[in-house]
Amino acid sequence: MTQKITYDQCLDAMYVLRRFGIKLGLDIIGDILKALGNPQDQLRFIHIAGTNGKGSIAASLSSILGQAGLRVGLFTSPHLVRFNERIRINGREIENDHMVDAYLAVNRANKGSREATFFEITMAMAMFEFARQKVDIAVIETGMGGRMDATNIIQPMVSIISNISIEHRQHLGNTIAAIATEKAGIIKTGAPVVTGVRKKSAIAVIEKAAARKSTPCYRLGRAFRIRRFKNDRFNYYGLTHTWRDITTSLVGDHQPENVALAMVTCELLNAKGFSITEDHVRKGLKKVHWPARLEVVSTDPLIILDGAHNLAAARKLATYLSTRLADRKITLVTGILADKPYDAMMAILAPLADRVIVTRTSSTERALAPEILAQAVRAYAPDTVIQPDVATAIQYAMDTGGKEDAIVVAGSLYVAGDAIAYLNSERPPDPGDSA
């Protein structure tokens, strides 16, 4: 009989797995789930891939489907403060005891030809818990890419590809078409695909993949569309419905597009026998919460957290800063991972700041050295200083800033997680996956 371990012991054992790094493939996750009795075969899924917006779409869908009275599983990554954030049911994080039970079950099943990675173990734990809790539908966010991502072991009812830009070149390829090929790997026979992709080369890849699987492809701007208004409201013109004057609690000019992908997915689920009404959609979008995505965590002083962990996300943040915070002095607190295009990201963000505080997260070994990042930043923002960690950087920003200044913490979800941990006096997150 396996001896029960504590929650902290479970976390310690899991975080050791980060030394195995990123290994894409479906064999190991397949073997683990088979040994568990293939819990994923008991479940219905929505599968989401893309460069940016996956989490916002997943959170929106989870909130809407919950309003429709469904029991909804949600699997996302990375976590910001607590591991339990990754596995949720109707917005509630997995309980500590249930997390330990899931880990022990998966660990017993982990007898493959190589050691499973942190992400593979986590994915298997989510499948075990969702089956145990008998969720009606599970919303699953890919970790990296799609085709060889551990989440691609599932058979979804609907697949969603949010958008595509250059990322993770060493794993996914050097061109938009190559990366689109990896993302399009989540498209399955019998599961319509919804996409917000705009780039022609990516569209061609996704539509060809859908055609090969004999499944329809619904593109934003063609099969369904939105019309924005200045007051953050928009109209949605869908497959069979027109819903006007829509609002969401998610902040940013890009969020209506993410929300539209969630809304058209609801239409497709209704065609498969679900009953998701306009009222469910409206209530779900008003209640959705997705942290560290243009999230205001303090108003005095104004502190905004945004992951902005790649070039596309940096552009979206820059649009927000230049339009919504144009009348404020901005202090940018930033730390970036070494495998990200930090120079290009800072070329976009740093000129919008009156000063920059460069730091690093303690939550992953992939963090870029502050001295290297500061050298890149000073080309665009001469008033740049280094602070050794995120907590010190935020406190320094508050101690030395003006009363009306805005403090923007951005550059990495790990940095955002450290910020939340400091501001909430919580334990910061530990590393361990590909995000």
**Whether residue 339 has pLDDT greater than 70:** yes
Nearest to 170, CA basis, from 22, 27, 311: 22
Angle formed by the axes of helices 278-287 and 54-67, nearest 10°: 130
Instruction: Work out whether strand 72-75 and strand 217-219 pair parallel, antiparallel, or are unpaired.
Output: unpaired
> So what's the pLDDT on residue 3?
58
pLDDT category, 426, cuts 50, 70, 90?
very low
> So what's the pLDDT on residue 165?
78
Higher pLDDT, 281 or 164: 281
Cα–Cα distance, 397 to 236 (Å, whole number): 40
Residue-wise pLDDT for 79-105, tens only, equals 999 999 999 999 999 999 999 999 999
Letter for the amino acid at 404? E
**Whether residue 428 has pLDDT greater than 60:** no
Count Cβ atoms below 10 Å from residue 422 Cβ, excluding itself: 18
Our CA angle for 72, 284, 46, nearest 5°, is 40
Nearest to 129, CA basis, from 91, 151, 103: 103
Rounded to the nearest integer, the mean pLDDT of the chain is 92
pLDDT category, 365, cuts 50, 70, 90?
confident
- Are 191 and 158 in contact by the 8 Å Cβ rule? The answer is yes
Task: State both tokens at 417.
Answer: 């997680």
User: Could you give all domains of the chain from N- to C-terminal order, each with its CATH number?
Assistant: 7-287 (3.40.1190.10), 295-424 (3.90.190.20)
- Are 81 and 395 in contact by the 8 Å Cβ rule? The answer is no
For range 419-425, the mean pLDDT:
91
Identify the weakest region by mean pLDDT among 166-175, 205-214, 393-402.
Answer: 166-175
Identify the weakest region by mean pLDDT among 37-51, 155-169, 222-236.
Answer: 155-169
> So what's the pLDDT on residue 432?
46
pLDDT category, 20, cuts 50, 70, 90?
low
pLDDT category, 431, cuts 50, 70, 90?
very low
Torsional sign, CA 231, 236, 241, 246: negative
Q: How buried is 326 (Cβ within 10 angstroms: 0-12 exposed, 13-18 middle, 19+ buried)?
A: exposed
Residue-wise pLDDT for 271-321, tens only, equals 999 999 999 999 999 999 999 999 999 999 999 999 999 999 999 999 999
pLDDT category, 435, cuts 50, 70, 90?
very low
**Whether residue 434 has pLDDT greater than 70:** no
**Whether residue 430 has pLDDT greater than 90:** no
**Whether residue 141 has pLDDT greater than 50:** yes
Higher pLDDT, 5 or 429: 5
> So what's the pLDDT on residue 17?
84
Q: How buried is 166 (Cβ within 10 angstroms: 0-12 exposed, 13-18 middle, 19+ buried)?
A: middle
For range 37-54, the mean pLDDT:
96
**Whether residue 196 has pLDDT greater than 50:** yes
> Any idea which residue has 């995120």 for tokens?
390
Model pTM score: 0.91
Q: Is the peptide bond preceding residue 382 cis, with omega within 30 degrees of 0?
A: no
The residues with which 73 forms a beta bridge, in sequence order, are 89, 138
